[in-house]
Amino acid sequence: MAPMSDEAVDRAQRAVEEGISRDFSTAMSYGAYLDLGTLLSAQHPRSEPVQHDELLFIVQHQVSELWLKLLLHELRSARALFASDELGPALKRLARVKHVQRQLVEMWDVLATLTPSEYAQIRPFLATSSGFQSDQYRAVEFLLGNKNAEMLRVFEHDARAHRGLEELLHEPTLYDELLRLLARRGYPVPAEVLERDVSLPYRLVPGLVEVFAAVYAAPAEHWGVYETCEELVDVEDLFQQWRFRHLQVVTRTIGHKVGTGGSSGVDFLRRALDLTFFPELYEVRTRVG
């Protein structure tokens, strides 16, 4: 075979431009900035002999935790912006929250490629570990309003996680701060909402449905609030999609087996579908029109 001409070589490969940095002995590199040495060395299969599919299981859950970290970052910021009456920037945060949620939902498709037989080779090595023990997932639920003090017992072994969740338990939720913002703007938010014990799970208040009914009856007059309500419904919708995909993947992978963390598995996950963060925003829909 005849050797390739210089012109053919140029067409077959992309030349490294002269201005591209090559020496990182003192300069910041991509790997150093992202601490890739730490990140890519954090996958430790436990199976013996090592099972091919365990890396998928580990990476899937580690990436989920990274997305949850960003989700918490954005939700905390949105809550702070509500508290300081900055509705526009808060909506920008919620828009990003929804994009992160979509990534989390789509990730279940990758884990669904794990068949029951393949997962059975990995499951014994999980021991009692379970996604139920994700403190970041629990923190997201606390921020959105599904608070449960009993959950803190699961994290007594981890001082950092326990402390963080205990703080969130006693802090206002994202919804609490929105409702306080509405009250400051003159909306007749019931006193029982504004004075509630924020450490308890949020419960529907009929009087607040009336407030949102007025907003939905005249969207143009309440556009910022109206748009925010719909953003929160989107957030809850996507959270439910995540829950449902979780349920479906668990069902196709282990059927009705008990979960590794001791839960009833599929039945436990199915009950979560009945939970709601923003009940008045759903109840008001029976009033529209």
Tell me which of 268 and 202 has the higher pLDDT.
Answer: 202
Confidence of residue 136 (pLDDT cuts 50, 70, 90): very high
Is 132 annotated for ligand binding?
no
Q: Does residue 128 have a known ligand-binding role?
A: no
Whether 246 has a binding-site annotation, put simply, is yes
Q: Please give the Cα distance from 287 to 289 (Å, whole number).
A: 6
Crossing angle for the helix pair 174-184 and 223-254, to the nearest 10 degrees: 170
pLDDT higher than 90, residue 3: no
Q: What pLDDT score was predicted for residue 201?
A: 93
pTM: 0.92
57 is in an annotated binding site: yes
Is 212 in contact with 229 (CB distance < 8 Å)? yes
Annotated binding residue at 119?
yes
* Percent of the chain surpassing pLDDT 70: 96
Cα–Cα–Cα angle for 206, 240, 245, rounded to 5 degrees: 160
Assign 10 a pLDDT band (cuts: 50, 70, 90).
low
What are the chain's domains?
51-285 (1.20.58.480)
CA pair distance 192, 196, nearest whole angstrom: 6
Q: Are 93 and 81 in contact (CB under 8 A)?
A: yes
